[in-house]
Structure 1
Amino acid sequence: MAVFVDAFQTIILPRRATGRFRITRFFFITTWHPWTVIGGRMKNARAREQFYSAYGPLSLILLLLLWALLLIVGFGMFYFALGTPFTDVMGVQTAAGLSKVRTALYVSGTTLFTLGLGDVVPHSMAARTLIICESGVGLGFVALVIGYLPVLYQAFSRREVNIALLDARAGSPPTATELLRRHGFEGGDVALTELLVEWEKWAAEILESHISYPILCFYRSQHDSQSWLSALVAILDTCSLLISVLEGPASRQAQLTFVMARHALIDLGNVFHVQEQRAWTIQSAVDRLPESDFGRLCEVLGDMGLRLCGDQASADRLRTVRELYEQHAKALSQYLRMPLPAWVPAKKEKDQWTLLTKLRTEAEAGRVASLLRNERGH
């Protein structure tokens, strides 16, 4: 019965599963921690990230195998309780002791996977009825697995599309200041508002899909510098800045996006009970925006015409907004081993965005100069 309830809550029920003593929760607790311990000992960052990325798909396979094994054992114990009333093809009665247990498990396994070998024949009505029931369960189990995998990977694919698109808009890894800087052009506030609308919908999809299928949280992005958590936090950082500093349409949409993104972040943290873990207390003392980074943040925003350091009220608002989500993000980051984005991106020697912007500026300057020469010629 426990397997039926757990599989129903994990696969079929379209809402967060409840109950502390669930097979799926016990499985993730007993497998994820040892996995992170082994991965944490790897010195090579790329190899470590590759090791973490294998956990999601592998845990899905192992979870399905665990369910199947428990079903086999459960039905096998029913057969054993009936006295293992089976006879093999040679007409020999099942012997007593351990042989009965082996025969009961063998019959359960072949019945669950609907092999229909017929080498062991039941000779009681109760055993025949139970075999029919287990055959139906086996067919249903296979059908659920077949339907479960496409749903998971479709949700994963939809999630990754926006994360990949954010690379060109906020850098890799994404940061709030880079996102604002790349929208610091004429009409950029409109483009930024449209982007926040898309991410409000994305956060709602994450809330719906990842609450129903928490295993998706362990699935990592294609590139080591990207993750669904870093993208979500980068959007929350951006909304925090817009709410704290700006007035206008972008600020209004930032409030809507912030509420939905924070809702998704906190609910996902509750799924893994991050508030009850040791990391919750430890991460509360870690500041994502120390004084040095805050100074660089002020410089970048100042270049864009957004005043933060000169306005104490704006700085206080930013601190208040950050307190609404940062501790949850840091605890979830520690649990999933997904690093959070910085507030200000590190300087890169080869920045493609800067190069493209320079070329575009030079092309625009050349076009203006050409027009001026033509006017003088006339």
Structure 2
Amino acid sequence: MDFTDIAYLLLRIAIFTGGVFLIAYTILSGIRTFVLPRPAQVLVFRLVFLNVRRLFDMRARRTMSYEERDQVMALYAPIALFLVPVAFMILIMLGFMAIYWALSPLSMIESFKLSGSSLLTLGSFTNDAPLLMVFEFAEALLGMIMVALLIAYLPTIYNAFTRRETQVQMLEVRAGGPPSPWELIARSHRNGELDQLRDFWSDWQVWFAEIEESHTSLAALAFFRSPRPEMSWITAAGVVLDAAALMLSTVDIRREPRAAFCIRSGYLALRQIAIFFEVPSSHNPASTDPIAITRHEYDDACRYLAEQGVPLLPDRAQTWRDYAGWRVNYDKELISLAALMMAPYAPWSADRSLSPTLRLLMNGEEGKWE
């Protein structure tokens, strides 16, 4: 055997090893994406979503209104999620194509035909070699498993989506549209429920725990937009957290521990989601760290609440410090995620994101006290 034959043999061994590695990597990636019930960074999933997002961002910049942009972005997550199993199938097909070429005298084109026919169970191109038949059956089995995993994955996503959106839709009843924390407090006061929000904070505490689990283990879910363009899970989270912070720091009623637990549940959830998506987040912030809300905006909110008859604590300087001490726990995560999700306008969250894309969405609109 001369040097050329040895080199050719080593090439086939390398191609075979590469094919096996690619198949094993794809199988593990599929398991981590569709089966593993915990956060997992999957390179294929990430690349698909990032590249599809770039295309949608280019399209969204050309639209003239937020409603048009929302219609465009509503398709982003479904299309990207649709392409993820397609990418997995392509990788499996390429892996087996490499194996067929390495183990037989088939050309690259013939290996591609054999791999595609086996993966899609077409039977249009086969090979009678016993070793290749084993790999053909294995590839066909993997193809069916990938389809089955996707079929089981979609109902899981939509069940979690429905649970999330039920609370988001119900928030409009209390907080108006677009929702705001001061409107939530004012309406609760007008209805005589200001000191009876214990169940409300408990419900949202559970909601935060659910989105922490679902929006990291089912990462695509975070980008699924609400059925109504003016609503979003991230802006709803901001309203509830700010309302709880105002209740604990500014409103003159008996302290409700459930509001404090709701804030803690909320900022822990947003922090884990922000870390998963690798967007700016805070770690053990100090109560004196700056926040995105100015003292002037806080005073305007207090003025509105006072006009609505809501009892407020008299020491405004102290209440501001207390509010800022609560807000700093979730301030950076809230704004970062609002930018990432291209959230609709909502005061004290999406309206002050540092994202240039989100500023385009805002169209220069200013928040109004209503």
TM-score (norm. length: structure 2): 0.81
Once residues 72 and 255 of structure 2 are traced to their aligned partners in structure 1, the CA distance between those partners, rounded to angstroms, is: 40
- Structure 1 residue 290: deviation in Å? 5.7
Matches within 5 A, 1:195-210: 195-210=200-215
Which of 249, 259, 263 matches 2:268? 263
Distance 1:109 1:191, change over 3 A: farther
- The 8 Å contact of residues 39 and 52 in structure 1, kept in 2 or not, is answered as yes
- The 8 Å contact of residues 173 and 230 in structure 1, kept in 2 or not, is answered as no
2:62 aligned with 1:41, yes or no? Answer: yes
TM-superposition CA deviations, 1:287-334 (whole Å, max 9, x none): 34461x323211123243332573321110111221111111111222
Once residues 227 and 272 of structure 2 are traced to their aligned partners in structure 1, the CA distance between those partners, rounded to angstroms, is: 25
Distance 1:285 1:114, change over 3 A: farther
- The 8 Å contact of residues 164 and 211 in structure 2, kept in 1 or not, is answered as yes
Extract unaligned runs of 5+ from structure 2.
1-23, 282-288, 349-365
- The 8 Å contact of residues 225 and 232 in structure 2, kept in 1 or not, is answered as yes
- The 8 Å contact of residues 196 and 253 in structure 1, kept in 2 or not, is answered as yes
Once residues 27 and 167 of structure 1 are traced to their aligned partners in structure 2, the CA distance between those partners, rounded to angstroms, is: 34
- Structure 1 residue 18: deviation in Å? 3.9
Q: What is the aligned partner in structure 1 of residue 111 from structure 2?
A: 104
- 2:115 is matched by which residue type in structure 1? S
Q: What is the aligned partner in structure 2 of residue 321 from structure 1?
A: 326
- Structure 1 residue 230: deviation in Å? 0.4
- The 8 Å contact of residues 207 and 268 in structure 1, kept in 2 or not, is answered as yes
2:184 aligned with 1:179, yes or no? Answer: yes
- The 8 Å contact of residues 59 and 72 in structure 2, kept in 1 or not, is answered as no
Which of 335, 346, 353 matches 2:368? 346
Distance 1:257 1:249, change over 3 A: farther
2:27 aligned with 1:4, yes or no? Answer: yes
Q: What is the aligned partner in structure 2 of residue 74 from structure 1?
A: 95
Once residues 250 and 64 of structure 1 are traced to their aligned partners in structure 2, the CA distance between those partners, rounded to angstroms, is: 50
CA root-mean-square deviation: 2.3
- Structure 1 residue 108: deviation in Å? 1.4
Once residues 175 and 62 of structure 2 are traced to their aligned partners in structure 1, the CA distance between those partners, rounded to angstroms, is: 31
- The 8 Å contact of residues 175 and 345 in structure 1, kept in 2 or not, is answered as no
- The 8 Å contact of residues 117 and 125 in structure 2, kept in 1 or not, is answered as no
Once residues 67 and 210 of structure 1 are traced to their aligned partners in structure 2, the CA distance between those partners, rounded to angstroms, is: 21
- Structure 1 residue 187: deviation in Å? 4.3
Q: What is the aligned partner in structure 1 of residue 81 from structure 2?
A: 60
Distance 1:162 1:84, change over 3 A: farther
Distance 1:67 1:175, change over 3 A: same
Extract unaligned runs of 5+ from structure 1.
86-99, 277-283, 349-378
May I ask how many residue pairs the two structures share in their alignment? Answer: 322
Distance 1:249 1:108, change over 3 A: farther
Partner SS for 2:194: helix
Question: Share of identical aligned residues, percent?
Answer: 26
Distance 1:294 1:130, change over 3 A: same
Whichever of the two has the greater Rg, that structure is 1
Which of 19, 24, 37 matches 1:14? 37
Once residues 132 and 247 of structure 1 are traced to their aligned partners in structure 2, the CA distance between those partners, rounded to angstroms, is: 71
- Structure 1 residue 242: deviation in Å? 1.6
Matches within 5 A, 1:134-149: 134-149=139-154
Distance 1:254 1:135, change over 3 A: same
- Structure 1 residue 191: deviation in Å? 4.2
- 2:265 is matched by which residue type in structure 1? M
TM-superposition CA deviations, 1:249-295 (whole Å, max 9, x none): 6631111111111111111111110029xxxxxxx99834461x323
- Structure 1 residue 12: deviation in Å? 0.5
